[in-house]
Structure 1
């Protein structure tokens, strides 16, 4: 039986700990765990903390934490996903799958054809929701780090800050990405909105060093494209990279 993984924002170390909030609710109410059950805790520091439950209630979880270990689930490739915001649950899906695929950071973007407009209150609520989506995805997929989800910003502003070794923008008329003689340490992926980026935005991305990337003859939806693109990057330079390649800073 798989041991449940539960996130907590608390600092962890071997010994007895009492946790509250979502961790206690998830263990005691959602999973209906009891004293003696095993759980793996993580707080985003890159380590898993095996623990035995001493007491499980609806509002409080007491555990005995054992020695932590690195689960080895992080990619050697730092991937930043620049995702233009989409409506409904499409953005949630993109964040969930990007977390599962191993991205380091997610930058929600506003572009000319973006149909999402957030006032400060809505932005705060969406950020909180996106962070919880990422946490739940990390619990499920075995990651001990949670991607950083930045506050939304204008596409033009983000382009001026990107300095990743490889920069790619999804475009159905682009070229297939190919391996390199050296393995990059970081990649930035730019995914447009449901209506696509406009010509001026593609030009700005090109000026910022983004190469157009095609993922086959079909046009992918805005929430599907990052999954395919991240998987390709992980195959070429990340999770499945060959040990014989040099590394490019």
Structure 2
């Protein structure tokens, strides 16, 4: 599993004072983490596990080891040696599957990504597939590119189903669209160097660029006409 950076406390002695002022702030005072939560972490992750509150701007990936009406506790890092405590009231759960599990008090054991946005806002929780992310990384494709490709492919299939009656023409259209999409998404990635490769919210296309991507296959091939050939 992957953890976000800056999970450990920052030194405030000597030359570190200036850096400490600029370091992300904890979302809660570490002293406010209840003793039962610390005991639970020790039981589930071992007595050597560190326990920290989430920080402003933090992006945490890992297994939920505990969730109640006040806190969500997440194990992060290689070997799950660090526990991050989230104030549940700040976390907005995304996705039907996670929302259903939350409603049934079944978040424990689920791999999730919890990303804190601006300092004055809360966090968003998404499902996290570490294996899929690793495969994408090894394949040289960013999460942004993979997300955009999946989005445009879905749009293309919906368009083809509604507007192209011939199975042969539909298959040719989708084959061509896949090639165009790969080029378009690569260009979008270049235009968005600030886009996070791990934040699904930042992976959403801008309206103008989304429109261009949809037009690309039509410009390259022309809008396919319905056929009576079935």
Structure ranking higher in helix proportion: 2
**TM bucket, shorter chain:** under 0.3
Considering Cα pairs closer than 8 Å and 6+ residues apart, tell me whether 1 or 2 has the greater RCO.
1
**TM-score (norm: length of structure 1):** 0.25
